[in-house]
Structure 1
Amino acid sequence: MKSGFFLRALRNGLFAFCLAGAVVPPHAQAEQQDRLVIFDDDGFALAQWMVLKAPHVKVLGFATVSGDFWQKEATAYALRGVEIANRPDVPVVAGATYPLLNTEKRTERWESLYGKLVWKGAWMKQWVEKTNQPLPPYHAANSVPDLPWGNPKTKAAPETAVSFMLRMVHQYPGQVSIIECGPMTNLALAQKLDPEFASLAKELVYMGGSLNPQQKLNTPAAAQFAREFGNSPRREFNIRFDPEAASIVMHAPWKKIVMVPADPSTETEMSEAFVKDITQSDTPVARIMRKSANNFPLWDEIAAAVWLDPSLIRTSTDVYVDVNTAFDAQYGDILSWSEGYQPRLDEQKEHVVLRVDVPRMKALIKDLIARP
């Protein structure tokens, strides 16, 4: 990807493909009042269904990337999620399989120098300590295990996530929001292929990074997740999996960036009581969600919720943000500066969500799940 010739050839080929008649989703003639969005993630769950079921929202597509799962497994989850919601009109587009530079072997080398990571996503083989959280089966990038929701019958769209996102922001300049809840590999590739990418989008809302989260809930699960920030408050998995991609994205000229770090998630938990309350309706999504009490924080759901309703934000701050890409003890950690203190190397100002109105967010989720 460092070859200028290769980038030009790939970009020219990409736009030739677009001009050659790539399939435009049936909803291309979107109503003006509908908010247009692309959701990019390393899996598929409640957050995607929230956006998919929200009124006056047109989901242009779901893009996938490796992170918690390998891209092929994430794609399978997205396809099955769209099927459960009975939304065959929404395309699923497969994205990057590997980070730009980071690898499993580099991560193991880093751990030998600086200590064990709490979570490594697709590279995770075992927990360092006893935990109640399940461990995804470790497997190769091209292997897709059977899904707990059942395997999808549909296929991903015949287009890459990068070409799809570039095509959409050119087709709807200034109108497309991008919600990123996984590593930023696809976004970085899109920005490098087309320097206009970020400036053509309406905004970027991403779940990732960490400033200084504090444990708020007195539950065993909350204490276990506190391991992720207790000694390393600036580290978070989505950014740590592909730090170079995140840094590229954070230097791109977006009109608006909303960062949802780990900080507000410590007041939330996908507990049995929470799941029981939000799934009282009898919709396909509610029926699936009844089996989803994993006691995880609502990371991605917060990002989806504040995009749908920014008034849910209770506390926030504006800072300039970047990522440490040096292969040292803080590799992948968030860097941030107040106005005037940034290095002025094209860092972008981001609106950082620190706390949300959890009861109102819960009510929003419950309402969306109940929608037909």
Structure 2
Amino acid sequence: MDVPVGTIKRISPSSTVASPAAPRRKVIIDQDAFGPGGPNLQPILMVLQSPEIEVLGITVESGDGWQKENVAHTLRMLELIGRPEIPVVPGATYPLLNTEEDTRRWEKLYGKLAYKGAWMRSWPDYNTVNRTRYHAAEVVPRLEEGEPSIRPAAETAAAFLVRKVREFPGEVTILAMGPFTNLALAARLDDQFAALAQELVFMGGAFNPGASAIDEFSLQYIYSPRTEFNSRWDPEAAHMMLHAGWKKITSIPLDATVPTKLTAELAQRAGAGETPVTKYFAKYAGIGFPMWDETAAAVLLKPAIATATTTLAMDIVVDHGATYGATLSWPAGGGPGLGEPNVTVVRAIDVGQLDALFVYLLQQRP
């Protein structure tokens, strides 16, 4: 059902979740879960709050922040919202080949990247929202939300991913919202990994996101419309992920997320109440950011939120030249025939439905 922008209460449980009799969908969340709160952990809250989803675990890599710090933020969030039973599995700290030094050498040849995640040493003057401070990968600064008392899983993310898709063949959806190093490692650990999963839904890729809006988050895409952070952090992993042999792939590129934003008004509605989730969100909400990963989570939970999709053959540039990490695309089946998969690409979403679903899920009571 169509929900106007700002409408919340008219969304009923039946419009957003499966019937009680339906089996819950098994999902593994793969995320560079930098926190507290903000655009990395908020989409995890959405999925955890959905009654139709069974989260098998959260695998964590570096990207927006370093893996060890990301793991700590995730553990502490689960502790504060009363979900300590969810496994948090540490994954890759560094990309497969790309490095901070290589990236800085690349910038000397081809120009500055607007965003480099954990490698950002300084922020542009137009930055208006709080961002992480630069530190080494092994450093875990004191957490604003307090230190976790629960521990991460002992196995690696790649091993966990492989084990779970083999435990539940054809049943596990992978929701990937950070760089794709963990998925690439899992695909190399077991060449049946992707084929055994039900589907892959990922936040990544860029086609022309700067065409629809100009703000501090989309300025870079006016001049470099095909370069997106998740793929640019680890281009080889993104390429390997796409070529791994999935039954079904859905991409939520930056294009679909440009019109979104977590406003103070939306955050106030989503954080109203006294549940552990609403109290956590109200304190650590990432106000002012586009809802990048929240959009990916919403498409997973409610595919009809996508108002425009297309099927494209897709790949990522791994040549270490000016377009390293950029998105390649062709008409479905029209690529060079080098194994590039056909991908369902979400080009636009119903922003009002996204906002309403976000509020509805965060307001769910355990």
**Scaled by the length of structure 1, what TM-score is found?**
0.88
CA distance in 1, matches of 2:72, 2:238: 24
Give unpaired runs (5+ residues) of structure 1: 1-30
Residue 320 of structure 2 aligns with an amino acid whose one-letter code is: F
Contact 2:81 2:280 in 1 (8 A): no
Cα 1:364–1:128 shift into 2, 3 Å: closer
Deviation at 1:197, TM superposition (A): 0.3
Deviation at 1:340, TM superposition (A): 4.1
| Change over 3 Å in CA distance of 1:32–1:272 after alignment to 2 | closer
Q: CA deviation at 1:113?
A: 0.5
Other structure's SS at 2:256 match: helix
Aligned to 1:133: 129
Q: Distance in 2 between matches of 1:227 and 1:216?
A: 11
Correspondences of 1:156-305 after superposition (within 5 Å): 156-214=152-210, 216=212, 223-291=215-283, 292-305=285-298
State the alpha-carbon separation in 1 of the partners of residues 93 and 130 from structure 2: 23
Q: Percent identity?
A: 45
Report the Cα distance in structure 2 between the residues aligned to 1:49 and 1:215, rounded to whole angstroms.
Answer: 30
Change over 3 Å in CA distance of 1:327–1:254 after alignment to 2: same
Q: Name which of 26, 29, 47 aligns with 1:39.
A: 29
Aligned residue number for residue 349 of structure 1: 342
Alpha-carbon distance between aligned partners in 1 of 2:342 and 2:98, rounded to the nearest angstrom: 26
Alignment: residue pair count:
338
1:361 corresponds to which residue?
A: 354
Q: State the one-letter code of the partner of 2:99.
A: T
For 2:153 and 2:191, how far apart are their aligned partners in 1? 24
Distance 1:154 1:198 in 2: 30
Q: Is the 8 A contact 1:228 1:236 kept in 2?
A: no
CA distance in 1, matches of 2:160, 2:144: 28
Mapped pair 1:103 → 2:96 = no
Whether the 8 Å contact between 2:162 and 2:186 is mirrored in structure 1 is: yes
Match of 2:64? 68
Q: Over aligned residue pairs, what C-alpha RMSD do you find?
A: 1.4
Change (3 A) 1:113 1:286: same
1:159-214 deviation digits (Å, cap 9, x = unpaired): 11111110000000000000000000000011011100000000000001111114
Structure 2 gaps, min length 5: 1-20, 34-39
Alpha-carbon contact 1:188-1:249 (below 8 Å) kept:
yes
Aligned mates of 1:78, 1:290 — CA distance in 2: 17
Q: Is the 8 A contact 1:282 1:370 kept in 2?
A: no
**Residue number among 80, 86, 98 corresponding to 2:82 in the alignment:** 86
